[in-house]
């Protein structure tokens, strides 16, 4: 595979994390315009861990994901009373706040005679874990997809479990969920925390893939895309948002000649899908039907 293909595939993989993060919150009925903040926060935290404090990459990913998850839970607790549009605006405001803070943060440490660390608007250079260890792009891509598969398996298990039903219940009627004896506050904080961790894993990988991060990358358009992926691909299963990412980055990026019009095509696609398939390509109904087909087949075999 040439580097271009590997880069596109790696981007699909890394962006899938933030798509899954937004998807998890969409399940609970919340539209967050702020998942890019956790992606970015973790990119900085993970980058700091490996580049400034020489931790191994797994530790960097854990540090980044945990930091993102914790901040997400704090923000979640603060915005808990808000719902609908108010929640969306609060998440957007927080994400912009986080981005603006990253624009002024300057912490430099001396690593082998070179100053490394976040440098405000100039970004955070020198996250060179990959190059220092001579890890190829392809190898890193495998790491990305390994972690993505792990995340996907966890999400699919959650969806099959009672917790998955509860998250969907919060999404359809949280008062009714409360009447079932569910502590909706606790589950909501759990959901935003999980979504923060998932976005964080993606961000940590991203920092190490590009070796350089800047606050500008984590602007609101990233969060809007993350939401759109779930809405395109479908809210019936965790595979849905991945389809959304593949369509946008894989398909549209691949068709070179529409480069300049990509956002127009993407926006149009979102609009058309929202009209004809309001809950995406793989919505709950289609997933139910697919499951029925599969279980019938399994019965027939047995």
Partner 1 sequence: MLELRRLSVSYGGILAVDEASLEVRPGEIVSIIGANGAGKTSILNAISGIVSPEKGEIIFEGESIGGLPAHTVVARGIVQVPEGRMIFGTLSVEENLQVAAHQRGRFILRRRSRSSLRRLFPALADKLDNPAAGLSGGEAQMLALARGLESRPRMLLLDEPSLGLSPKLAEEVFGLIRRLREQGITILLVEQNVRRTLALADRAYVLESGRITLHGSAAELMADERLVSNYLGISAPEPSNPDR
In three-state secondary structure terms, 123 is coil
Residue 54 or 295: the one with the smaller Cβ distance to partner 1 is 295
Q: Which of 1, 104, 105, 176 binds partner 1 (CB under 8 A)?
A: 176
Q: How far is the CB of 23 from partner 1 (least distance, A)?
A: 14
Q: How far is the CB of 299 from partner 1 (least distance, A)?
A: 12
Tokens found for residue 191: 């959901």
Integer Cα distance of 80 and 97 in angstroms: 18
Residue 159 or 248: the one with the smaller Cβ distance to partner 1 is 159
Integer Cα distance of 285 and 72 in angstroms: 31
The 10 Å Cβ neighbour count of residue 191 is: 25
Q: How far is the CB of 230 from partner 1 (least distance, A)?
A: 14
172 binds partner 1 (CB under 8 A): yes
Under rule CB under 8 A, how many of the chain's residues touch partner 1? Answer: 24
Of all residues in the chain, what percent are helix, strand and coil, respectively (each to 5)?
Answer: 75, 5, 20
Binding segment for partner 1 (CB under 8 A), chosen from 80-88, 130-138, 265-273, 287-295, is: 287-295
Residue 182 or 252: the one with the smaller Cβ distance to partner 1 is 182
183 binds partner 1 (CB under 8 A): yes
291 binds partner 1 (CB under 8 A): yes
Residue 175 or 259: the one with the smaller Cβ distance to partner 1 is 175
83 binds partner 1 (CB under 8 A): no
Residue 42 or 184: the one with the smaller Cβ distance to partner 1 is 184
In three-state secondary structure terms, 210 is helix
Residue 98 or 177: the one with the smaller Cβ distance to partner 1 is 177
Q: Which of 288, 290, 293, 294 binds partner 1 (CB under 8 A)?
A: 288
* CA neighbor of 61 nearest in space, from 194, 223, 199, 154: 199
Residue 182 or 220: the one with the smaller Cβ distance to partner 1 is 182
Burial of 120 (0-12, 13-18, 19+ CB in 10 A): middle
Q: In what order do the strands lie in the sheet with 124-125?
A: 109-111, 114-118, 124-125
296 binds partner 1 (CB under 8 A): no
In three-state secondary structure terms, 29 is coil
Burial of 294 (0-12, 13-18, 19+ CB in 10 A): exposed
Binding segment for partner 1 (CB under 8 A), chosen from 30-38, 107-115, 176-184, 196-204, is: 176-184
Is residue 263 within 8 Å of 270, Cβ to Cβ? no
CA distances from 287 to 41, 79, 240 (A): 34, 32, 10
293 binds partner 1 (CB under 8 A): no
User: Which residues make beta-bridge pairs with 115?
Assistant: 110
179 binds partner 1 (CB under 8 A): yes
Q: Which of 162, 256, 299, 301 binds partner 1 (CB under 8 A)?
A: 162
Residues at the contact surface with partner 1, assessed by CB under 8 A: 162, 165-166, 168-169, 171-173, 175-184, 284-285, 288, 291-292, 295
């Amino acid at each position: 595979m040439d580097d271009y293909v590997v880069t596109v595939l790696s981007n699909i993989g890394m962006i899938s994390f933030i798509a899954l993060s937004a998807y998890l919150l969409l399940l609970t009925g919340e539209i967050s315009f702020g998942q890019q903040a956790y992606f970015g926060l973790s990119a900085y935290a993970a980058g700091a861990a490996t580049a400034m404090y020489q931790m191994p990459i797994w530790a960097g990913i854990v540090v980044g994901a945990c930091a993102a998850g914790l901040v997400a839970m704090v923000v979640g607790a603060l915005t808990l009373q808000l719902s609908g549009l108010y929640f969306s605006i609060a998440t957007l405001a927080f994400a912009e706040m986080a981005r603006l803070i990253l624009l002024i943060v300057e912490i430099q440490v001396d690593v082998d005679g070179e100053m490394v660390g976040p440098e405000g608007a100039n970004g955070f250079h020198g996250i060179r874990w990959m190059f220092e260890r001579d890890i190829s792009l392809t190898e890193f891509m495998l790491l990305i997809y390994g972690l993505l598969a792990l995340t996907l398996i966890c999400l699919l298990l959650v969806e099959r479990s009672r917790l998955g039903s509860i998250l969907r219940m919060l999404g359809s009627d949280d008062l009714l969920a409360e009447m079932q004896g569910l502590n909706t506050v606790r589950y909501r904080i759990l959901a935003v925390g999980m979504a923060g961790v998932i976005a964080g894993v993606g961000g940590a990988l991203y920092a190490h893939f590009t070796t350089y991060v800047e606050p500008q990358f984590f602007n609101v358009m990233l969060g809007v895309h993350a939401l759109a992926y779930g809405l395109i691909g479908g809210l019936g299963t965790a595979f849905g948002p991945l389809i959304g990412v593949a369509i946008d980055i894989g398909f549209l990026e691949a068709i070179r000649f529409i480069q300049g019009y990509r956002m127009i095509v993407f926006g149009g696609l979102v609009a058309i899908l929202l009209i004809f398939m309001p809950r995406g390509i793989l919505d709950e109904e289609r997933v139910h039907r697919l499951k029925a087909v599969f279980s019938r087949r399994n019965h027939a075999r047995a």
